[in-house]
Every structure is written in C-alpha cells, then in structure tokens.
C-alpha cells in the first residue's frame, strides 16, 4: 500500500514530467515474462509513475507478462521475483529528479496469471490507467493512485473470495465498474479530490460492506436493480441525490432492501461535494 507521501512523490514526479523542454528522450521497450511454476499464492506489487498503464489477464501458463516503454535516461524497469512475491514496475535512475523530460509517451502493459491466486497491490501516480481485473484470482486488492484518470473494470467474476479491496484515490477521475465481480467481503474507497464513479454491478456472491471516505468532489454510486443497498451518510456540506431510496432513521434503503438476495451496506463519509445515486438495469 502506498501511503500519502508515496502518492505525493509519484504525483510530483508526474508533474515534473510535463513537457517544457525539447530534451530528446531515449525510449526503450522491454518485454518481460515468466511462466507459472507451481506457485500456490503470490503477492504482487506493481508501481508506475507516469504514462499509460494497463492491466489484464494473461494466457494460460504465463505468470506475468509486462511490456514497458520508458525513457531509459530517467527510468529503469523493475521485475523481482522470489517465489511468493513479485514486484513489477519502473523506478527512477539514480536519486535525481529530472525536470523537463516528457514521459507522456511511457506505457506499461501488464498481464497477470489467471491461475495463481494473488494479493495484488497497484500503485501509480499521474497515469492514465485502464485496468481489467476480470478473470484474475484475487485474494486481496489494494489500489493507490495519485493524480490520474483511472478506469477499473472487473469484467468477469473473481473465482476466489477476497477479504478486502481497497482503493485510495488522490486527485483523480476514477471509475470502478462491476465491483460485484470482485467477490469481496469489504470494499474501502478513500478518495481525495475529483470525480468518482463506483458501479456496484456484477455478480455478487456474498453480502458486503462498503466504506467510502470522500473529500472534495462528485461521487456517483451506480447500483443494479435487485441489489439491496443501505446507505449510512455522514457528511458535511454534501448534497445527496438518493433516487430510488427511502430514508429510515439515519439511513437510506433501497426500495427492495428486505427482499433482496444480496445486500451491501455503505458507510459514506463525505465533505464538500455531491453524491448521486443511479440505478441501472
């Protein structure tokens, strides 16, 4: 998990990367891969500073496959594997921060094994991220992002159950789709500033609790019809458009809360923003 300082550093590094000079980059493309070799479970840590970041599922037999395009004068790839832990990403070369280097052309395309259960940690700074976690066997998920434009999609159900999925979002436009497919007992979202869209569609295998801590910005909660939703709101100067929900006591309930097969309970803590509830078929 990347703490606030870490995310700040990643974001700062990304801001410094904004093109102001004409210095030439030396782009290098690296493709790394490793085969599955009997791993029972794997802890995977991925860090990426700036560029375009994509994650998906790999073909059978492949533990990971990573394609990196980066400026070799500034970054160097990182791939460490020790049997039960895998660290991937890029890191700065040396200890100096270079200003004026255009890293907008950087890319990281990562594919992870479907077969090996993994506790996945993703940390990225100012990136444009397209993450499809569908098909991965996730026993844990921790996503931390700085100033980014991120889309997380769980396109197919997670075959194993997960205790907690954590999303830490800095200043960003963040969208999470089909969170029901995560098969998580608890989902935690800590958002700083930005536009956040959380779609709780997908195949819910179990009831779940969700904690959302929202700073300044707009939050849109999208629920599938038929899912029982209870929303506990603790907010300050935050508007709530609770369409399709009724208020009982201090909480808001979906209309079919009692009859729903699967229920999620959301604790929402928000300040200076707006919350909108949308029901999707």
Partner 1 sequence: MLMPLYRRTLLGLILAVALLPALARAQERAVVSKEVAVGRSEASLRLEFSAGAPLEIVFRDRAVTIDGDVVGSFDPGDAADAAWRSLLSEAVTLEDGPLSEMLVAWSPPEGLEGDALDVVEVIDEALEQSLRPSLPVVAPSVSVSVGTGRESALLQALLGQVGRLSMLQDALAEAGGAVQLHVQEDVEVDEGQTVNGTLVVISGDARIRGTVEGDVVVVDGSLQLLPGSRVFGEVRLADAHIVRNEGTVEGTVVDVLEDERDLESEIRARLRDELRSELRDEIRHTAPTSAARRFNPFRSVFRAVAGIVENLVKILILGLIGMGVVAFAPDHLDVVAETARRAPGRSAAVGVAGAFLLIPVWILGAVALAVSIVGIPVMIAWLPLFPLAAIAAGLLGYLAVARNVGEWLSDSGYRYTDWIRRSNSVYTIFGGLMGLMSFFIVGHALSVVPLVGFVKGFLVFAGSLASLAALTVGFGAVLLTRGGRRREYFPESFDEAWERAVEVEMDMDEADIEVEEEPGGSENDRPGKEKENDA
Residues lying near partner 1 in the complex (CB under 8 A) are found at 11-12, 15-16, 18, 20, 26-35, 37, 59, 61-62, 65, 67, 72, 79, 81, 99, 147, 171, 193, 195, 216
User: Closer to partner 1 at the Cβ: 59 or 261?
Assistant: 59
CA–chain centroid gap for 67, Å, is 19
Residue 157 host element (H or E): none
Supply the minimum distance, in Å, between the C-beta of residue 169 and partner 1: 12
User: Closer to partner 1 at the Cβ: 203 or 216?
Assistant: 216
Supply the minimum distance, in Å, between the C-beta of residue 199 and partner 1: 21
Supply the minimum distance, in Å, between the C-beta of residue 149 and partner 1: 12
| Token pair listed for 64 | 């990971």
Report d(CA 219, CA 241) in Å as an integer: 10
Report d(CA 14, CA 10) in Å as an integer: 6
User: Closer to partner 1 at the Cβ: 141 or 147?
Assistant: 147
CA–chain centroid gap for 16, Å, is 23
Supply the minimum distance, in Å, between the C-beta of residue 170 and partner 1: 9
Q: Say which residues have a Cβ less than 8 Å from residue 152's Cβ, sequence separation at least 6.
A: 129, 131, 133, 143, 167, 174, 175, 176, 177
Supply the minimum distance, in Å, between the C-beta of residue 101 and partner 1: 14
| Closest residue by Cα to residue 44 from 22, 63, 25 | 63
- Residue length of the chain: 281
User: Closer to partner 1 at the Cβ: 85 or 247?
Assistant: 85
User: Closer to partner 1 at the Cβ: 59 or 91?
Assistant: 59
């Amino acid at each position: 998990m990347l703490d606030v300082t870490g995310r700040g550093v990643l974001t700062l590094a990304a801001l410094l990367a904004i093109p102001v000079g004409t210095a030439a980059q030396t782009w290098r493309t690296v493709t790394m891969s490793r085969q599955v070799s009997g791993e029972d479970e794997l802890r995977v840590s991925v860090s990426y500073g700036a560029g375009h970041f994509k994650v998906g599922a790999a073909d059978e037999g492949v533990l990971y496959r990573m394609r990196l395009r980066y400026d070799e004068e500034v970054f160097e790839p990182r791939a460490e594997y020790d049997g039960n832990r895998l660290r991937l990403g890029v890191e700065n070369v040396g200890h100096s921060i270079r200003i004026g280097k255009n890293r907008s052309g950087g890319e990281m395309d990562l594919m992870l094994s479907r077969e090996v259960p993994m506790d996945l940690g993703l940390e990225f700074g100012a990136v444009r991220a397209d993450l499809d976690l569908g098909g991965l066997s996730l026993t844990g998920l921790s996503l931390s992002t700085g100033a980014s434009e991120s889309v997380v999609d769980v396109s197919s159900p997670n075959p194993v159950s997960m205790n907690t999925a954590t999303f830490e979002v800095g200043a960003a436009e963040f969208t999470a789709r089909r969170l029901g497919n995560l098969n998580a007992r608890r989902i935690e979202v800590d958002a700083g500033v930005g536009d956040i869209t959380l779609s709780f569609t997908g195949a819910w295998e179990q009831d779940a609790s969700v904690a959302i801590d929202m700073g300044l910005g707009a939050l849109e909660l999208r629920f599938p019809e038929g899912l029982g939703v209870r929303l506990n709101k603790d907010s300050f100067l935050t508007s709530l458009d609770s369409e399709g929900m009724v208020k009982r006591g201090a909480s808001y309930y979906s209309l079919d809360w009692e009859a729903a097969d699967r229920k999620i309970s959301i604790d929402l803590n928000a300040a200076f923003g707006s919350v909108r509830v949308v029901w999707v078929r």
